Amino acid sequence: MTKPVMTAQDVHLFYGKKEALKGITMAINWHQITAMIGPSGCGKSTFLRTLNRMNDLIPEVTITGNVSLEGQNIYAPSMDTVQLRKKVGMVFQQPNPFPFSIYDNVVYGLRIAGIHDRLKLDEAVETSLRAAAVWDDVKDKLDQSALALSGGQQQRVCIARVIAVHPEVILLDEPTSALDPISATKVENTLLELREQYTIVIVTHSMHQASRISDQTAFFYQGELIEMDNTKKMFMNPADQKTEDYISGRFG
Ligand SMILES: Nc1ncnc2c1ncn2[C@@H]1O[C@H](COP(=O)(O)OP(=O)(O)OP(=O)(O)O)[C@@H](O)[C@H]1O
């Protein structure tokens, strides 16, 4: 049975005077992959960032409405954003490993949380890298720089870094668009495996990717959520003409 882990209700977001999100209401289901699609500039990344308050870091942003994680309003003044971003982790378009060893990348968040026990860290490194399906690639060179890995391996190490702090939700903003097709497929396969344990939200420009890996798809257009549905249903029988035009490649 599906149940929402996160909900957004009537979320409006302004960059200065420009309204980039025009009243988004959405439920993100537990242990599903939710894909967000839509033409460039329609607000996908902006909405993704509202889910872990990354927009707070951008000056002149105003947000109204409600976003909750397991029933808790994440915009409540009492919300600790560091804790929130651990629970709702993020992976970006460009792999962004720190200029440290692979090992130190993965345990970064744990060390910040005060965990220094070598056995615990070793265990977390192996578990997280295995979950991110990159253990076999890197197990013999954990002390080497993460920057020396291929783009796809770096991206999976970044996913491992997020997993290491046990998030509930993983947000990914076009995580494969900077990768070659083989690396992209590996990352997609990793996400399919991670769905067993995590709730995943992914922004993608690839219809193929959305239809291959996601359970539900949300179509954004000009700051509005036009429709959201079971992915198979939406791709086979979209309710709105704009969705149909976009997924059939008539614009975008
Ligand atoms: N930091 C910012 N300051 C001002 N305006 C912004 C900022 N970030 C995004 N915008 C504007 O908000 C709108 C939505 O942008 P957003 O990046 O969320 O769209 P997107 O659908 O993710 O686009 P893309 O697919 O090209 O990444 C666009 O008009 C964009 O120019």
pLDDT of residue 249: 87
CATH fold for domain 4-247: Rossmann fold (3.40.50)
- For 128-155, the pLDDT digits (tens) are 999 998 999 999 999 999 999 999 999 9
pLDDT of residue 2: 74
- For 157-174, the pLDDT digits (tens) are 999 999 999 999 999 999
pLDDT of residue 251: 77
Q: Which amino acid is at 115?
A: I
Question: Taking the model in full, what pTM does it have?
Answer: 0.94
Domain ranges of the chain: 4-247
The complex scores an ipTM of 0.97
Integer distance in angstroms from the first to the last C-alpha of the chain? 34
For ligand 1, the distance from its centroid to the CA atom of residue 43, given in whole angstroms, is: 6
For ligand 1, the distance from its centroid to the CA atom of residue 189, given in whole angstroms, is: 28
- For 110-129, the pLDDT digits (tens) are 999 999 999 999 999 999 99
Cβ 45 under 6 angstroms from ligand 1: yes
Mutate which of 42, 47, 206, 220 for ligand 1? The one with the most ligand atoms within 8 Å of its CB, which is 42
pLDDT of residue 1: 58
Farthest-apart Cα atoms in the chain, separation: 56
- For 189-213, the pLDDT digits (tens) are 999 999 999 999 999 999 999 999 9
- For 72-99, the pLDDT digits (tens) are 999 999 999 999 999 999 999 999 999 9
Helix (H) or strand (E) holding 73: strand 72-73
Determine the average pLDDT of the residues in 27-53.
Answer: 97
Cβ 34 vs Cβ 191: under 8 Å: no
